[in-house]
């Protein structure tokens, strides 16, 4: 009898260890940085982490909506790899309008933000309308949009000096950085839609099983299409945060953002009781990933090693999710 009891308990313990593997590794890394990185826990550095994490947090929250609606299988489920490229496109267009064309901020936003939304519309058409695999469709869109950004900006950095943009970069309200407040507004809106409305409940049901959702009469195509639209809207806001953080636009900045966005979003799923991607988990994951990057920068770790560590964490998250699902069967 003792063996019959111990076997299931050992299996449950192993399943718990596997599901928390990424969090354990991340906690150990952050604890190491807190002990070794100079001034890592200083209030000034923690505030800087919040400022720096804003664009990533907005993008990760946007991606979480797509994943929730399409399922968290990164091959056949919901994914939008074009979000960082779309945000950088928006930042590039706004920068060009402000610094090269001499337009005002309002005009620049009218040119830049609709371009980001158009990328979301294209993804909806490719994935929902034509039926392409989200992973391949959004990867192709990302490459195309990155090329368009380089064409518009002549593949060069464009500096921006604008009072409103500078305030988003340096300002604060009640001690909270303005850029993080922008991220919190996006988070609150998306979290409300996904976790507090009937549409959000339908979206979660579709992500859990699209076949079952279709049989029950839920509007699967419209809901999934809207999830890409909401993610693009988040990317449009992220374009402003990217512009503020860098005081301009830099073609190619979407590449590190892509890696960090995927890591933050799926790492955030580890904070959920059901081990699924959530909007609030994506926000928390973005802050922790930025803290990791900041700590390594304080230790002057080579950027290629940092990218390798982040890639390893993504792999660990995906492997842990696969093993966890297998152990629960």
> DSSP secondary structure string, 234-294?
HHHHHHHHHHHHHTEE-TTTHHHHHHHHHHHHHHHGGGSTT----HHHHHHHHHHHHHHHH
Q: What pLDDT sits at residue 19?
A: 64
Q: Are 87 and 59 in contact (CB under 8 A)?
A: yes
Strand-pairing partners, residue 158, are: 249
Handedness of CA 233, 237, 243, 245 (dihedral sign): negative
Q: Is 61 among the domain residues?
A: yes
d(CA 266, CA 322): 12
Q: What pLDDT sits at residue 328?
A: 58
Q: Is the pTM of this model over 0.85?
A: yes
Q: What pLDDT sits at residue 3?
A: 46
Q: Is 264 among the domain residues?
A: no
Q: Is 273 among the domain residues?
A: no
User: Can you read off the two tokens belonging to residue 17?
Assistant: 């260890």
* Residues shown for the chain: 329
Q: Is 232 among the domain residues?
A: yes
User: Can you read off the two tokens belonging to residue 25?
Assistant: 């590794």
Q: Is 295 among the domain residues?
A: no
Instruction: Please tell me what DSSP assigns to residue 129.
Output: I
Q: Are 261 and 56 in contact (CB under 8 A)?
A: yes
CA angle 208, 211, 216 (to 5 degrees): 95
pLDDT tens-place values along the chain, 329 residues long: 444 445 555 655 655 666 667 778 888 989 999 999 989 999 999 999 999 999 999 999 999 999 999 887 766 678 999 999 999 999 999 999 999 999 999 999 999 999 999 999 999 999 999 999 999 999 999 999 999 999 999 999 999 989 999 999 999 998 899 999 999 999 999 999 999 999 999 999 998 888 788 778 888 899 999 999 999 999 999 999 999 999 999 988 888 899 999 999 988 877 777 778 899 999 999 999 999 999 999 999 888 888 888 888 888 877 776 666 665 55
Q: Are 94 and 243 in contact (CB under 8 A)?
A: yes
Q: Is 305 among the domain residues?
A: no
Q: Is 245 among the domain residues?
A: yes
Q: Is 33 among the domain residues?
A: no
Q: Cα separations (Å) of 280 from 64, 127, 139, 151, 187?
A: 9, 25, 25, 36, 7
Domain that holds residue 229: 57-249
> DSSP secondary structure string, 25-83?
HHHHHHHHHHHHSTTTTSHHHHHHHHHHHHHHHHHHHHHHHHHHHH-S-TTTS---TTH
Q: What pLDDT sits at residue 166?
A: 93
Helix 21-36 and helix 254-268, axial crossing angle in degrees, nearest 10:
120
Q: How far apart are the first and last CA of the chain?
A: 22
Domains contained in the chain, number: 1
Q: Kindly state the helix (H) or strand (E) to which residue 177 belongs, with its residue range.
A: strand 176-177
């Amino acid at each position: 009898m003792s063996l019959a009891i111990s076997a299931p308990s050992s299996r449950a313990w192993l399943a718990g260890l596997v599901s928390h593997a990424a969090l354990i590794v991340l906690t150990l890394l952050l604890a190491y940085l807190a002990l070794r990185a100079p001034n890592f826990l200083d209030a000034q550095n923690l505030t800087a982490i919040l400022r720096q994490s804003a664009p990533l947090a907005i993008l990760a929250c946007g991606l979480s909506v797509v994943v929730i609606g399409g399922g968290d299988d990164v091959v056949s489920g919901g994914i939008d790899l074009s979000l960082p490229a779309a945000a950088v496109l928006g930042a590039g267009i706004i920068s060009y309008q402000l610094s090269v064309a001499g337009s005002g901020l309002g005009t620049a936003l009218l040119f830049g933000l609709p371009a980001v939304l158009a990328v979301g519309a294209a993804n909806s058409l490719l994935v929902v309308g034509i039926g392409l695999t989200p992973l391949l469709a959004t990867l192709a869109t990302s490459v195309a949009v990155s090329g368009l950004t380089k064409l518009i900006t002549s593949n060069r950095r464009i500096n921006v000096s604008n009072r409103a943009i500078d305030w988003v970069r340096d300002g604060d309200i009640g001690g909270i950085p303005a850029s993080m407040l922008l991220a919190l507004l996006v988070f609150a809106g998306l979290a409300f839609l996904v976790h507090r409305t009937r549409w959000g409940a339908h979206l979660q049901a579709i992500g859990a099983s699209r076949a079952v959702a279709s049989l029950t009469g839920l509007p699967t195509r419209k809901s999934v299409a809207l999830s890409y639209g909401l993610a693009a809207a988040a990317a449009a806001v992220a374009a402003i945060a990217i512009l503020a953080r860098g005081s301009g636009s830099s073609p190619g900045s979407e590449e590190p953002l892509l890696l960090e966005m995927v890591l933050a979003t799926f790492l955030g799923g580890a904070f959920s009781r059901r081990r699924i991607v959530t909007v609030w988990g994506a926000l928390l994951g973005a802050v922790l990933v930025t803290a990791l990057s900041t700590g390594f920068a304080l230790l002057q770790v080579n950027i290629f090693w940092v990218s390798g560590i982040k890639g390893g964490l993504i792999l660990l998250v995906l492997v842990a999710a696969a093993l966890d699902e297998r152990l629960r069967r």
